[in-house]
Amino acid sequence: MSTNGAARGNYILEVEDLYVGYYRDLNILQGVHMYAEKGKITTILGANGVGKSTLLKAIFGFLRPNAGDIRLNGKSILDTPTHKRITLGLAYIPQHMSIFRWMSVEENILLGGWTFRHDKERLRRKLEENFERFPILREKRKQPVGELSGGQQRMVELARTLMTDPEVILVDEPTAGLAKLLKREVYQMLRDLRDNEGKTIVLVDQEIRHALRIADYVYILDLGRNKTEGPVEEIVADLKKAFWI
Amino acid sequence: MKFRRIYILWALTALFLVGLIFYPRLVNLQPYWVLVGMTALFYAILASSWSLLAGYTGQFSFAHMAFMGLGTYAAGILIRDMGFAPWQATIGGVLITGVVGLIIGYLCLRLRAVYLALFTIAFAEIFRLVVKAEVKFTGGPNGLELPTYTFPGWLQNLLRTIVPFWDANVYIPAYYTMAFLFVAALLFMFLLVRSRFGIFFRAVREDEEAAAALGVHVVNTRVLAFVVSSMIAGFAGIVFHHFIGLIVPDQMQIGRMSLIIAMAVIGGSQNLIGAALGAIFIHFSLEWLQQIPLPTAVLQHLLFLNDWGFSVDLHAGVLRTNAWRMVGFGLLLMLTLRFWQNGLISPIIDWLARREAVESVAQRFQAERDMDAVDDVQAIGSQAEAGNPQEPTS
Amino acid sequence: MWPLPDVLLHAMHFHMWLDALFKFQITGTYIVRLILEGLLIGVIYALMALGLTLIFSVLNIVSFAHGEFYMIGGYVVYAILHHYKGFPGLLAIVVAALVTFVIGAVFERLFLQPMAKGQVERPSEYAILITFGLSFFLQFVMLGIMGPFPKKAPRFWSFPKIDLGFIRTTKTTLFLGNIPLSGGRIFAAIIALLALAAVLWFMYRTWTGWALQAVSQDRNAAAVVGINPLNMNTLAFGMGAMLAGLAGAVLVTVFSWVPWVGVPASAKSFVIIVLGGMGSIPGSLVGGLILGVVESLGTGLFPDPARAQAYRDVFGLVIFALVLWLKPTGLFGRKL
């Protein structure tokens, strides 16, 4: 699989030769690359602890890379502080539920529009859009989010993320800890985002079956390094090779 | 024989001990300076016992001075009302301090570190106010008088022969008693932190759950450190104030406590000796600064402060002068905390003793990597010896 | 029998208190008056504790310099009113609030931000010591500037003359029936109530307030939606300091002021936040009122009036100990 710049025009998010670690000299990611194509779902797979979540954290700026580059639309975003990255069209849904649990559903979703909080009209419109997308949230708009079920909390998170109309959404194990029925629903939501709204999604997951079903391009990491990658058909065709089972 | 840095440490220790013994001679037996030296040692004991708790278990007691006062008041009242001899009262006072420490310890140390800090600061202030108010019982703001210790005759004679200037002024016996207590307290705490308990203290500080999983009783360990540290404070307070002859409630005010903390932190609260030296250093520099007329009046005039407050009178002027010196130490305390968390003195000791200063996680990883590298080099070397005539590069 | 402290004796002879009740010294009116006085001062305690709660919930630290901001707030009002005769008192209070806000915010930037950025080892221990160091520093700075003698700001308000039968006022006192209430405290409580309302409105009705809440509930999620957590830290610490400063500013006309006046005040705030539950806004409000009433009743009913004032703070300490013993999470605590 070639990763040279032949088709670079289509790549909206590019991660090159990334070294990241929690301590200065202990890198969890050692020279990882990842290219996400516009309007596609790029899935990153791998066993526990190979650094998949670390990769997303680094892309969103919670960890500062020791070396390497991260580019969004061709421009390096390494020097953009974490809280500013959302204004670049990047959004992040962490693995652990990242909701404000003592605030109401409506406040949670509105906070997603923090960056354009002075634009009342746009806020109202986006809030309405979200309530249309997730009607159940409209019913519970005044309820503290902490009282909702896990799936609904994920919905709130997603709705909050969509407030800013991000181009690229980084999603970290969206179904961890959810019931089986809900899982399908969450993946359907992601698929809809790609198909109907043309979002670029980078999905990190353990649920290989589901993840492969909605993926367009797959990267497989092993102990902080790229192992295999390819369009989803190739990977599915030769799962054995991909996972070295 | 190869020169090692630790020899410097030994030499300095010897020098310090000699200095400790001959200090009254060095200041020509002037009562004032002997008293200053004795007070410095008193603060040194307090600072190092505070750092036993803070630097080794990571708990902060702001009631250290209050425990000092509690012990002293208890001893004084035992003597006054129950006819105890001073030495009996000393033991009684220390025990009472321990009991109160035990109660407060069990109350607060089950919880996060901040609860002990919160409770002790409230306890210290309120204890002081109550002591001040209970005039009939404690003497109120005028303080409580304590009798001086009388040494038994044979000891007195023995000391007179060893120290020819024993009777030169009243502070000399006091100074030597304090010096003895200082060495004994430091030795005791040093042995304590070198013992099993010292390891428990650190383990509980570094990772409470891991320590508990290994069978260390977290709460008991912390309470032990707290009680020991408070009892040493009480002991030092009782002995000191027996020689001074009076304890006043303002001895326990929070400003003094701050000073003890500044001493310990600036010296290095991770190191008992660093804290003690910090206390001695700061106490002497405060005394020394007092000799320099700080142009407070001019300063205040330049800053237009007199317009805002009131005209300077003598007493207030002195207090203000002291205040500005303390401001300097407050600033030094904050800067030390921010930039040299191990303090200013203890890194030197650690360097001389060739011990790593308390290392950060990153440093630890670095150290482990270095060890690995050494292993690699050795492995390469042994391979080279085995199969390859080539010399390994070192 | 060697003498017990009188407080123990009185505790043992509890019937003395009952005797006092029947000896007509303690009447229902007296108790009502004590409760009202307690509520008045409790509002100010609540204001101060709210500041500490704000700091704790956003930065997850306890500021041991809280009392010193209280002290500085008072001194600023005193200095302004002392220097410029006829300066509007309310404006002086606003200046005090601004000054304490700036001091708090600058301190946060210089000393607490490195901690939030992870540049400091053992952050929880560092936070305790550095804020304590700040309190040490500020106390002696103010001792250097203002000197050790007690100060009292001049009264800058007076009641309009009202006589509605039940409610009457003189220049400095308000009478509810035959219960006299000190006007200074009423004035202070009104300002404190306004400030409380303003803060609550700010926290629950403005975007910045939501952002503060968001940071306190999930720092990373706040950064994900684009809130800068470091700025919110500064804002929260500055506001916390400001609330303490406000409490001091309204009380400086009531109590006399010395550089260490903040120490018992911060001890009270600590009692309140532990009683109400660390990080709980309703907890700090209710806790403040409870502490005010308990102190007032305890002091007012204390058998020996000469020493009653000294024991005022002891009731707080007793509450503190009871809460730590029985329910360390406090009344409204949601996390320990």
On whether any CB of chain A is under 8 Å from the CB of C224, the answer is yes
CA distances from B374 to B361, B362, B379, B390, C288 (A): 20, 18, 8, 18, 61
CB A99 within 8 A of CB A174: no
Q: How far apart are CA C58 and CA C236, in angstroms?
A: 7
Contacts of B300 (CB under 8 A, 6+ apart): B306, B312, B320, C145
CB B278 within 8 A of CB B266: yes
- Contacts with C220 from chain A: Cβ below 8 Å: 62, 94, 98
Q: Do B369 and A25 touch (CB under 8 A)?
A: yes
- Give, for B59, the enclosing helix (H) or strand (E): none
> Number of helices and strands (H, E) in chain A?
9, 10
* Of the candidates B20, B24, B284, B291, the residue with the CA atom closest to the CA atom of residue B170: B24
pLDDT at residue number B374: 44
Q: Which of residues 66-85 of A touch C (CB under 8 A)?
A: 81-84
Q: Is the pLDDT of residue B382 over 60?
A: no
Domain ranges of chain A: 100-159
pLDDT at residue number C13: 55
Q: Give the CATH class of C37-326.
A: mainly alpha
Q: Do C210 and A62 touch (CB under 8 A)?
A: no
* Of the candidates C66, C255, A60, A112, the residue with the CA atom closest to the CA atom of residue B117: C66
Phi first, then psi: give them for residue B302, nearest 5 degrees.
Answer: -60, -40
Q: Tell me how crowded residue B391 is: count the other CB atoms within 10 A of its CB.
A: 9
- B16 token code pair: 């310090």
Q: Is the pLDDT of residue B373 over 70?
A: no
Distance from CA of C141 to the nearest CA of B (A): 6
Q: Do A114 and C229 touch (CB under 8 A)?
A: no
Distance from CA of A24 to the nearest CA of B (A): 7
- Span C258-264, average pLDDT: 90
Q: Do C129 and B324 touch (CB under 8 A)?
A: no
Dihedral (CA of B195, B197, B200, B204) sign: negative
pLDDT at residue number C300: 83
On whether any CB of chain B is under 8 Å from the CB of C267, the answer is yes
- Contacts with C323 from chain B: Cβ below 8 Å: none
On whether any CB of chain C is under 8 Å from the CB of A176, the answer is no
Domain closes at, from B274, B290, B306? B290
User: Are B144 and B285 members of one domain?
Assistant: yes
| Closest-approach residue (CA) in chain C for B54 | C125
Lowest average pLDDT, out of A141-155, B338-352, B374-388, C152-166, goes to B374-388
Q: Is the pLDDT of residue A152 over 60?
A: yes
pLDDT tens-digit series, residues A101-125: 888 998 999 998 888 888 889 999 9
Distance from CA of A1 to the nearest CA of C (A): 33
Q: Tell me how crowded residue C13 is: count the other CB atoms within 10 A of its CB.
A: 12
Question: In residues, how long is chain B?
Answer: 394
Q: Which amino acid is at C112?
A: L
- Span B170-193, average pLDDT: 92
Q: Tell me how crowded residue C161 is: count the other CB atoms within 10 A of its CB.
A: 9
Residue B111 is assigned to a structural domain of this protein: yes
Lowest average pLDDT, out of A25-39, A226-240, B48-62, goes to A226-240
Phi first, then psi: give them for residue B112, nearest 5 degrees.
Answer: -65, 160
Distance from CA of C218 to the nearest CA of A (A): 6
Q: Is the pLDDT of residue C65 over 90?
A: yes
| Helices within chain A (DSSP H only) | 52-60, 105-111, 120-133, 135-139, 150-162, 180-197, 208-214, 232-237, 239-243
Distance from CA of B183 to the nearest CA of C (A): 28
Phi first, then psi: give them for residue A39, nearest 5 degrees.
Answer: 75, 15
Q: How far apart are CA A213 and CA A209, in angstroms?
A: 6
SS3 A43: strand
Q: Do C224 and A117 touch (CB under 8 A)?
A: no
Residue B347 is assigned to a structural domain of this protein: no
| B334 vs C7, C133, C310: nearest CB | C133
Contacts of A110 (CB under 8 A, 6+ apart): A123, A127, A163, C210
Q: Do B255 and C136 touch (CB under 8 A)?
A: yes
Q: Do C320 and B122 touch (CB under 8 A)?
A: yes
Domain closes at, from B290, B307, B322? B290
Of residues C208 and C20, more confidently modeled: C208
Of residues C168 and B180, more confidently modeled: B180
Contacts of B268 (CB under 8 A, 6+ apart): B51, B55, B274, B275, B278, B342, B343, B344, B345, B346, B347, B349
Dihedral (CA of B92, B95, B100, B103) sign: negative
Per-residue confidence band for C15, with pLDDT thresholds at 50, 70 and 90: low
Q: Is the pLDDT of residue B351 over 90?
A: no
Q: Specify the DSSP class assigned to residue C110.
A: I
Dihedral (CA of B190, B195, B196, B202) sign: positive
Average pLDDT, chain B: 82
Please give the share of chain C, as a percent, with pLDDT higher than 90. Answer: 49
- Based on the structure, what is the number of domains in chain B? 2
- Contacts with A26 from chain B: Cβ below 8 Å: 365
Question: In residues, how long is chain C?
Answer: 336
On whether any CB of chain A is under 8 Å from the CB of B366, the answer is yes
Domain ranges of chain C: 37-326
Q: Do A25 and B361 touch (CB under 8 A)?
A: no
* Of the candidates B98, B349, B52, the residue with the CA atom closest to the CA atom of residue B191: B52
ipTM above 0.85, yes or no: yes
Per-residue confidence band for A151, with pLDDT thresholds at 50, 70 and 90: confident
Chains touching chain B through at least 3 C-beta pairs below 8 angstroms are A, C
pLDDT tens-digit series, residues A61-80: 888 888 888 988 888 888 88
Q: Which residues of A touch B (CB under 8 A)?
A: 23-26
Identify the domain containing residue B39 by its residue range.
26-290
| C147 vs B60, B310, B327: nearest CB | B310
- Span A137-163, average pLDDT: 87
Phi first, then psi: give them for residue A100, nearest 5 degrees.
Answer: -95, 95
pLDDT at residue number C7: 53
Q: How far apart are CA A225 and CA A210, in angstroms?
A: 23
SS3 C4: coil
| Closest-approach residue (CA) in chain A for B361 | A23
Q: How far apart are CA A27 and CA A169, in angstroms?
A: 25
Per-residue confidence band for B26, with pLDDT thresholds at 50, 70 and 90: confident
Per-residue confidence band for B301, with pLDDT thresholds at 50, 70 and 90: low
pLDDT at residue number A244: 55
Phi first, then psi: give them for residue C51, nearest 5 degrees.
Answer: -60, -45
What is the Cβ-side half-sphere exposure of residue C174, based on CA atoms within 13 angstroms?
A: 17
Q: How far apart are CA A214 and CA A42, in angstroms?
A: 9
On whether any CB of chain A is under 8 Å from the CB of B369, the answer is yes
Q: Do B115 and C314 touch (CB under 8 A)?
A: no
Q: Do A23 and B369 touch (CB under 8 A)?
A: no
For tokens 């590298």, the residue is: B373
Q: Do B319 and C317 touch (CB under 8 A)?
A: no
pLDDT tens-digit series, residues A225-234: 888 888 888 8
Provide the CATH number for the domain around residue B209: 1.10.3470
Q: Is the pLDDT of residue B311 over 70?
A: no
Q: Is the pLDDT of residue C22 over 60?
A: no
User: Are B375 and B270 members of one domain?
Assistant: no
Q: How far apart are CA C307 and CA B148, in angstroms?
A: 31
pLDDT at residue number C77: 93
Question: In residues, how long is chain A?
Answer: 245
Per-residue confidence band for A241, with pLDDT thresholds at 50, 70 and 90: low
Per-residue confidence band for C132, with pLDDT thresholds at 50, 70 and 90: very high
Number of B–C residue contacts, CB under 8 Å: 181
| Closest-approach residue (CA) in chain C for B339 | C120
- Contacts with B369 from chain A: Cβ below 8 Å: 25
Number of A–B residue contacts, CB under 8 Å: 9
On whether any CB of chain A is under 8 Å from the CB of B354, the answer is no
SS3 A166: coil
Q: Tell me how crowded residue B145 is: count the other CB atoms within 10 A of its CB.
A: 14
Per-residue confidence band for C128, with pLDDT thresholds at 50, 70 and 90: very high
Q: Which of residues 144-183 of C touch B (CB under 8 A)?
A: 144-149
| C79 vs B82, B308, B319: nearest CB | B308
On whether any CB of chain C is under 8 Å from the CB of A164, the answer is yes
Pairing of strands A41-45, A217-222: parallel
- Span B7-12, average pLDDT: 87
Of residues C165 and B354, more confidently modeled: C165
Q: Give residue B56's Cα distance to chain centre.
A: 13
Residue B339 is assigned to a structural domain of this protein: no
